Amino acid sequence: METNRLTIAIIGADGQLGMDLQEAFSSHRVVALTYKDLDILDPVRTAQRLGAAAPDWVINAAALTNVDWCESNDIKAFQVNALGARHVARSTPASSRLVQVSTDYVFDGQKKTPYEEYDTPGPLNVYGITKLAGEHYVQATHPRHYILRTSGLYGTHASWGKKKNFVDAILSLVEEKDEIQVVCDETLTPTFTEDLAKQIGVLIESEPPPGIYHATNAGECSWYEFARAALELSGKRGRIERTTAAEWNAPARRPAYSVLENAALKRLGIDVMPLWKDALERYLSKKLR
């Protein structure tokens, strides 16, 4: 069946997720808005660019995602993650639908089972606070919104906020050091951006009711387990030891448990996210071939 060709504006198109979104929507008309093309802190320019694009869908994948950096740069983080999201929501035409990419870090990690969309947020750090504020701005500003929370993103393209994603950093460190330590008491679901981009494609094709959606790879693991799996699947040798979040003492607190349940997608029968370990194996096969 032939798919209708849509106009899709991708904000943050040169980021880790944005690059995969461009590939996922290659059969549609993509308006790729990079940081140089569009500064979402400029509401006038944002309105002009989105108005001229006349998109069917807007995907806002622009954000400051370095959690520890945000902790000591709270004003800038709020400007981009909260006010920037508000500017995008206000500038998205009323006839368009808006996807706002958010995070598992809106939760406090006290729950022992995966968080569903109706669970009450309670962020522990500046990054989570600013992303939650962005969610509220979008919900209050644009009625045809889709808040899409995800977790632990990594992908084959470079991330603006970090020199290397977690997997690449681990594989580099094991070659440089005799032993590395990774936190074992923070549990999440690492998510491959290629899979997330495909899931967003399914969401757009399905046009479900507006609201909050969770979208991560399936299953869960600690950062330590994720690092060990990356090492094993890569075939590299190295020594990885456990440490705790308290011992690591990062500038920003992280939730101890931030696994998301793709409950809304599952109820609609449109959850296509594979297991996190299968996704990691595919990622490594691309990176290491």
Question: How does pLDDT run across 84-125, given as a tens digit for each residue?
Answer: 999 999 999 999 999 999 999 999 999 999 999 999 999 999
Q: Please report the pLDDT score of residue 158 as a whole number.
A: 73
The dotted CATH code for 7-162+190-217+258-274 is 3.40.50.720
The confidence score (pLDDT) of residue 159 equals: 67
Listing from the earlier edge strand, what are the strands of the sheet with 211-214?
29-33, 7-11, 57-60, 97-103, 145-150, 211-214
pTM over 0.85: yes
Give the torsion through C-alpha atoms of 12, 159, 194, 130, to 10 deg.
Answer: -60
**In this model, does residue 2 exceed pLDDT 80?**
no
Give tens-digit pLDDT for 157-207: 876 656 789 999 999 998 888 889 999 999 999 999 999 999 999 999 999
Structure tokens at 69: 């950096």
At 35, the pLDDT band (50, 70, 90 cuts) reads: confident
- Alpha carbon 34 to its chain's center: 17
**pLDDT at residue 149, rounded to an integer:** 98
- Write down the pLDDT at residue 3: 57
H/E element, 224: helix 223-234
Q: Tell me the pairing of strands 180-183 and 240-243.
A: parallel
Cβ(59)–Cβ(8) below 8 Å? yes
Other C-beta atoms within 10 Å of 198: how many? Answer: 18
Tokens of 97: 């639908």
In terms of Cβ atoms closer than 10 Å to its own Cβ (0-12, 13-18, 19+), residue 75 is exposed
Structure tokens at 200: 């967003």
| pLDDT score of 238 | 86
pLDDT bin (cut points 50, 70, 90) of residue 1 is very low
Mean per-residue pLDDT over the chain, rounded: 93
Report whether 68 contacts 245 (CB < 8 A): no
Give, as one character, the DSSP assignment of residue 82.
I
Per-residue confidence (pLDDT) for residue 160, from 0 to 100: 63
The Cα 118–Cα 149 span in angstroms is: 12
Per cent of the chain over pLDDT 70 is 97
Give per-residue pLDDT as tens, 50-75: 999 999 999 999 999 999 999 999 99
Helices 84-91 and 43-53, interaxial angle, to 10°? 40
Structural element, H or E, at residue 29: strand 29-33
Q: For residue range 226-271, what is the model confidence (pLDDT) as tens digits?
A: 999 999 998 888 899 999 999 998 999 999 999 999 999 999 999 9
Residues classed as catalytic: 127
Residue 94: both structure tokens together: 């009323």
In this prediction, residue 289 has a pLDDT band, given cuts at 50, 70 and 90, of low
